[in-house]
Amino acid sequence: MSVLRFNSLRGSALMVIESKLAYALVDSFFGGADRPYTKIDGKDFTPIELSIVRKVVELAIHDLENAWASVEKIGCSFVRTEVNPQFVGIVPPTDVVIASTFDVELENATGTISMVIPYATIEPIKQKLSTGFQVESDQTDKKLWTAIIKEQLMDTELEIRVNLGETSILLEDLMSLKVGDVIPLTQDATGELDINVENVKKFRGYYGNHHGTTAVQVTRPIIK
């Protein structure tokens, strides 16, 4: 039984790891086959076993803080480990507590981890738990997906096309064209040109060259 403290909330919490699961974790940590093992009456946990259990608890604390991050920054910390239930009276017997039990399955062993939190500890953030969690979570997800979509869009390749001008002539005139004939276009050679992005008029600009390369200088966007 590990006593935990939430730095931003009052009171303490309790994390209980079933003894057979604790032994299986220790066995697995040292390269064993995580065989199921039951604590012998009167036998205390060794300092090494308690040290391994504390490592597991500290990993669980890290995940616990991440799970609560969208509701409240709890700042959970490890206080001490106890084996005797008489020494872990975190609340009076008449107080209400919230208990959550998790079934843990290893390859050759199973056990439970229980989290016990006094109601008085989470009462100050009761409103956040009942109304604010889903909304805040949605807002966080929305910001994340917006950033991802924006990043992907910025890497999208687009086709930009500038039409220098158009005209219509009769087929008879087309067949009679010869070298040196001039075909007038509807576009003023010195005027602004339409700059099409994916066949949509988005900008206006002037024709010219840049460092010896044919180019178009954007002058203004087309606002519809």
* Domain spanning 2-132: CATH 3.40.1550.10: yes
Q: Do domains 2-132 and 160-221 have the same CATH topology?
A: no
- The model's pTM: 0.50
3-state secondary structure of 172: helix
Q: Residue 133's pLDDT is what?
A: 45
CA distance 65 to 61: 6
Q: Give residue limits of the domains in the chain.
A: 2-132, 160-221
Q: Residue 217's pLDDT is what?
A: 92
The encoded tokens of residue 193 equal 């040109």
CA distance 182 to 180: 6
Residue type for 88, please? Answer: V
At 121, give phi and psi (nearest 5°).
-70, -40
Which fold would CATH assign to domain 160-221?
Answer: Surface presentation of antigens (SPOA) (2.30.330)
Strand 12-17 and strand 110-118: pairing?
Answer: antiparallel
Q: Residue 139's pLDDT is what?
A: 59
Tell me the pLDDT of the chain (224 aa) as tens digits: 888 888 878 778 889 888 888 888 888 887 776 565 665 565 677 888 888 888 888 888 888 888 888 777 888 888 888 877 777 777 787 888 888 898 988 877 788 889 988 888 888 887 777 764 454 555 567 778 888 888 888 988 999 999 888 889 999 999 999 999 999 888 887 888 999 999 899 999 998 888 889 899 999 999 87
Q: How far is CA 169 from CA 25, 113, 217, in A?
A: 87, 85, 30
